[in-house]
Structure 1
């Protein structure tokens, strides 16, 4: 699959993939089941652990530290707090990597030896599994004041405010993707999540069988982002599990939503769980770092 997304298909195979993605998004295979109250509490615990990890590691970042070292700190924090399991491996992106510049294939997206500089924007992304429940978050920061990043975060918070209303509307998930894409471009940013595997704005979160020990991971391309166990779960759900421009299936369930935007030299995102029920849509938790930090500045 090529990196990026264009409104017009690039050829026969791209046209076929888009048709297949649209048709298969209707077959949810249980992905849209609404979780019981105790499951929401489980995902909330996993999400809060994920945020604790990224905030803790953000305070340990120093100039000269590599992306690999930052990702290792994230993994060590999770291990010290009771889990070595994950939906996807820990990511750390510095500087232009925070907008996926210089990347030619999905294997390039893994943490590298790039060293942190004072002016670099940093994205930390981690997804622990706690008692089988998945949390998945993204957190953006800079070691020094950055007016462009502050502006980007304000824009992302506006998207955060509007996304539940969009999911509660009659829009399909694919139409939501396209509207967010248009808003990002109209605001003068690049759509960086269009460079994710399947160009996802988000993906479903779910529960896997609780067990101890590490997840297995195979390969280093897009399949290698995720643990083998969660890859198998996602494959079982099919493309209904990914919020792509072609998704026309049911929106009910739990989604990790991750709008990611870029400008010259940097990128920013947030990621957190959105709960979509028949009569309402809401963020699983409003006491998340990017919201609390914005309130503290007012």
Structure 2
């Protein structure tokens, strides 16, 4: 870590490489999905793919959501987020989400896809690009996290969509990430790695002493500009039982903010659409 809490170049490279690996895993598993596969099987494939490539631990183990579960319809309790026996069918949207840990580095990604063609999914995925631009611009401007959250809400209302990250525990749109430094044994509890949770809770205690939070939501505790460091940001929008999101790392310094990597599947998709216009 540098003196202002922002990671050095070598560490940024470590986070970027793991984020690339996580997205590569999601794409590889997405390419294997077929009608009849369950969320649990998809999540298992992603976990095995990443473990075979050096992932040693998890902030959280892989999730998979199919159909209207991509929009978290009817979700009331945390256990509903875990992979289920829902089966994929033709033209059904899906989301793969994982947060691997390797050599202390953490990635937390969300990959949205569709088994075939679904016009609502296509529209949502294209419209999600505006959120990526909005978030980095307003963090860079020094706006408070709460105000940016509300700006995201306002954008989704203008587009005619539902904010679905409000269904996440704590209504969070993002959380800080850092290197995992724990001597606890590697152990998974309810899908979350205890080493990563210890790191997050430590950050939570430190941030609360400064009247800040490593969790980005829309309440009073988020009424401050983004703390310098890394944030895993995941705007999630829904419409008529279809949900689409991305999740990737935003780097915040004392004077700037930027996405850790622009060579990601959703960004390449939007760039390709722009080039064909």
Name which of structure 1's ranges 32-41 and 45-54 shifts more when overlaid on structure 2. Answer: 32-41
Give, in whole Å, the separation in 2 of the partners of 1:84 and 1:120.
32
Aligned residue number for residue 193 of structure 2? 227
Secondary structure of the 1:111 match is coil
Are 1:127 and 2:103 an aligned pair? no
Q: Is the 8 A contact 1:49 1:128 kept in 2?
A: no
Give, in whole Å, the separation in 2 of the partners of 1:107 and 1:67.
14
Aligned residue number for residue 248 of structure 1? 223
Q: Which contiguous aligned blocks of 4+ residues in structure 1 show a shift greater than 6 angstroms?
A: none
Q: Is the 8 A contact 1:132 1:210 kept in 2?
A: no
Give, in whole Å, the separation in 2 of the partners of 1:86 and 1:144.
30
Are 1:207 and 2:179 an aligned pair? yes
Aligned residue number for residue 113 of structure 1? 85
1:1-298 paired onto structure 2 within 5 Å: 33-209=5-181, 215-218=186-189, 224-238=190-204, 240-246=213-219, 247-251=222-226, 252-297=228-273, 298=276
Secondary structure of the 1:33 match is coil
Q: Is the 8 A contact 2:56 2:103 kept in 1?
A: no
Secondary structure of the 1:87 match is strand
Segments of 5+ residues of structure 1 without an aligned counterpart are 1-29, 219-223
Identify which of structures 1 and 2 has the higher relative contact order when contacts are C-alpha pairs closer than 8 Å and 6+ apart: 1
Give, in whole Å, the separation in 1 of the partners of 2:186 and 2:43.
16
TM-score (norm 1): 0.84
Secondary structure of the 2:60 match is coil
C-alpha root-mean-square deviation of aligned residues, in Å?
A: 1.9
Q: CA deviation at 1:41?
A: 0.7
Name which of structure 1's ranges 238-247 and 196-205 shifts more when overlaid on structure 2. Answer: 238-247
The C-alpha deviation readout for 1:248-287, integer Å capped at 9, x for no partner, is: 2451211011000111121000010011112221110000
